[in-house]
Amino acid sequence: MSANLDSQILIVGAGVFGVSTAFHLLSRGYKNVTVIDRSTVLPAPDAASTDKNKIVRSSYADSFYTALAREAIAAWKNTEEWGDTYHESGVYCAMQGQDSYIDEAYKNDVAHGARVDELPTPEAVRSIFPADVNVFVPDNARGFLNHDGGWAFASQGVERMMSKVTSLGGKIIPGKAVVELLKADGKATGVRCADGSVLEADLVVLAVGSWTASAFPGLGLDGQCLATGQTVTFVQLTPEEGDRYRQCPVYVDFHSGFYIFPPNHENIVKLAIHSGGFVQKIRQENSDVYVSTPRTVVSDGVDGLRIPKSSVQKLRAELARIYPDLAKKPFSGTRLCWYTDSTNDDWVIGAHPDIGNVFMATSGSGHAYKFLPNIGRLVVDAIEGKLSPELAKKFAVNRLHEHDVTEPEVRLNPPAELIVDELCTPDDLLPA
């Protein structure tokens, strides 16, 4: 379906995909764009995009993402548009021995004109960190530093994009949890919300992130929209420690999936593991179908922030391997950050195969935030039928469920079941 400028367009979800799509629709002259979200507070406190920071990098083995990320980074650098949301600390991609993914990422960065320093020796790696920071560099370390990258203050970026949407005449309505997609004659006519209200639409864009499959079980989206909880911890530094570590780059280890940021303005260091994550399979009402559903601070209060004890231990071990001094400090908090994963980490953007006026914009797969400035352009191109055949196939809802070996994104392990009895306690956050 190709919408016209007067079409009533309803976007469900006010995260990265939703607000970026709204912005690009309005920028192209669409007049009736409404974004709704289940959360009464926006940005939603348990959305993946509502976070202290997200990595902004162009280092991909898939040159499409490298090019798109370079375009996004150019936009992030515009401080008139984004203020201090983007912090260009540089991104260090660690390598040990041979690594085809990172080698390809390096080649793509260079080919697309990124400011990249190759670091072929441990001495070269050590040189990119401040002299007074205790960082462990193994004997076989190598890698590269991309100066055109760093991190973004995640929730602030979403707030900025929301302001752009409303300034262009778009509506953003919180507290509208969708309970039913309304249909007639094979087409969607709108949605019914938990408060009983009905919102009509000519076109519905589903951008509900990790709630995609569980919120719309009838659409059969669990295969391409799997909700996985990713483990995150935080370390609170003193002001003096913050000043010392702030000059470090973002550290990404594609072998283990471990990554760590420099401290933010609150002197908080965030560290996480990008992996298969954890799933919480919940039986759908009046069905024998079990769909992974997020367990968050909204659904379970502060208890929803706890992560498995085993993950706490792994995170501390990884931290000790990189920054030994920081590993001696307690973790100040944890979070299960819920991704929407596709089978091969390519996003899901396009019309639902059975309902042509329902468009999907989801499955960020842990690497969508950096594209907040421009990911909505792809969604609008899909709506207008302007995506190239290659991209339409790449992002299709019903594409084959096969893993793309060129873009593994270090998902070394399959998702594990989230077991509540095995979640961490405050004592587990203390150093041994």
What are the residues facing 235 on neighbouring strands? 269
50 pLDDT above the threshold of 50:
yes
* Dihedral of the alpha carbons of 289, 12, 37, 228, in degrees to the nearest 10: 40
Q: For the chain, what is the total number of helices (H) and then of strands (E)?
A: 12, 24
Question: Averaged over 301-319, what is the pLDDT?
Answer: 98
Rounded to the nearest integer, the mean pLDDT of the chain is 94
What is the per-residue pLDDT for 400? 67
Token pair in block for residue 410: 């270090």
- Find tokens 């919180």 and name the residue: 174
Q: Which of 365, 366, 360 is nearest to 348 (CA)?
A: 360
Backbone angles phi, psi at 90, to 5 degrees: 85, 155
What is the per-residue pLDDT for 256? 87
**For 51-63, what is each residue's pLDDT tens digit?**
999 999 999 999 9
CATH of domain 1-57+149-225+344-401: 3.50.50.60
**For 33-46, what is each residue's pLDDT tens digit?**
999 999 999 999 99
Q: How confident is the model at residue 255 (pLDDT cuts 50, 70, 90)?
A: confident
365 pLDDT above the threshold of 80:
yes
- 3-state secondary structure (DSSP) of residue 403: coil
Q: Give the DSSP H or E segment for 236.
A: strand 226-236
**For 393-410, what is each residue's pLDDT tens digit?**
999 998 865 444 344 444
